[in-house]
Structure 1
Amino acid sequence: MSQNLEATTEIKSSADKFYGFFRNTLSDLVNIFPANFKSVQILEGEEGSVGCVELWNYVIVGISMTAKVKYEAINDGEKSITYTVLDGDVMQLYKSFKATITVSDGSAKWFIEYEKALEIVPIPEAYAALAIETCKVVDLYLLTSNN
């Protein structure tokens, strides 16, 4: 049975710029947030395109993890992107894991849809916290750089 988790954070940069970062240059997280994002490798397609598959190496709650992530849906009108995890460490805890970010003026909202592999598996609050922290870092980066 699928469950949902939502997390919202305030952003000060423009919605277009913020969405553009997640849409087109998400792999830059390796450079601007190296404490949590170690590498991104494009396996199929082109970054920022539906169907693109990337291999992410990241750190969450102090643990190094991997995830094979597919850009499932992109809606430029709504400024939303859906990422589906196909494989990797997170899939040991969840049968399915999908995250959608929607950006609007002043906020970024994450919607995480997941199905636990076992009942004892925790709600993915650590992923929601990482998503919010990532948004804060991206917002600061966009506000202080010439991008």
Structure 2
Amino acid sequence: MGCLEKLEAEVEINSPASKLHQTFHARPYHMCNASPNKLQSCKLLEGEWGKVGSVLLWNFVHDGKTCVSKELIEAIDEENNLVTFKVLEGDILKDHKSFKITMQGIPKGKEKSVVHWTLEYEKKHDKLIPNSYESSVMQLCVDVAKDLGAHLVKMESNQEALLSSVAA
């Protein structure tokens, strides 16, 4: 039996950790609006949006190829802005026995946060290039977080502009 491996990365974004967490766990379909070239769709297959035990189906682009991933929301920690997805089926499991993706939004001041990503996985077989596939999945996660951060800032500024025009 293979061993469980872990890969971690962090990226700073200009959006509060609570907003980021709310999007990732309760409205993940909004991430497709923020990063349409990377995330094509997110559908709820079982359960309710934002609830542990719910199952989502993602269509995404990885290394130029359209991929799918059926994922279980395994854990949500509101206090620590953390959500964990366990991959149940899909392209990621072609070379892995198991694969989990954890995102945690860590507050950094009032309007910024650090997104901490953790990938935990067990490979089906050893590869010549260690962690190359996992590193590219991690880069996809980091890029999506950056896109989402920029999208949330843009949405907030659009709301502020709308409110000031209504008040005028």
TM-score of the aligned structures, taking structure 1 as reference length: 0.95
Deviations 1:62-98 (A, max 9, x none): 0111110110000001110000000111100111000
Is residue 125 of structure 2 the alignment partner of residue 118 of structure 1?
Answer: yes
Aligned to 1:3: 5
Q: Distance in 2 between matches of 1:11 and 1:36?
A: 18
**Deviation at residue 30 of structure 1 after TM alignment:** 2.1
Report the counterpart of residue 88 of structure 1 in structure 2.
90
**Aligned match for 2:140, one of 130, 133, 137:** 130
Match of 1:108 in 2: 115
What SS does structure 2 have at the residue aligned with 1:8? strand
> What letter matches 1:118 in structure 2?
H
Contact persistence 2:44–2:55 (CA under 8 A): yes
Displacement of 1:23: 1.9
Q: 1:31 offset after TM fit, Å?
A: 2.1
In structure 2, stretches of 5+ residues that fail to align are 108-112, 160-168
Coordinate RMSD, CA, aligned: 1.3
Gap runs ≥5 in structure 1: none
Question: Which of 124, 142, 147 is equivalent to 2:152?
Answer: 142
What is the alpha-carbon distance in structure 2 between the residues aligned to residue 126 and residue 139 of structure 1?
A: 20
Contact 2:28 2:42 in 1 (8 A): no
Decide which of 36, 43, 48 is 1:41's aligned counterpart: 43
Q: Would you tell me which structure has more helix in proportion to its own residues?
A: 2
Bigger radius of gyration? 2
Give TM-score, length-normalised by structure 2.
0.84
* Paired positions, count: 147
Report the Cα distance in structure 1 between the residues aligned to 2:52 and 2:40, rounded to whole angstroms: 23
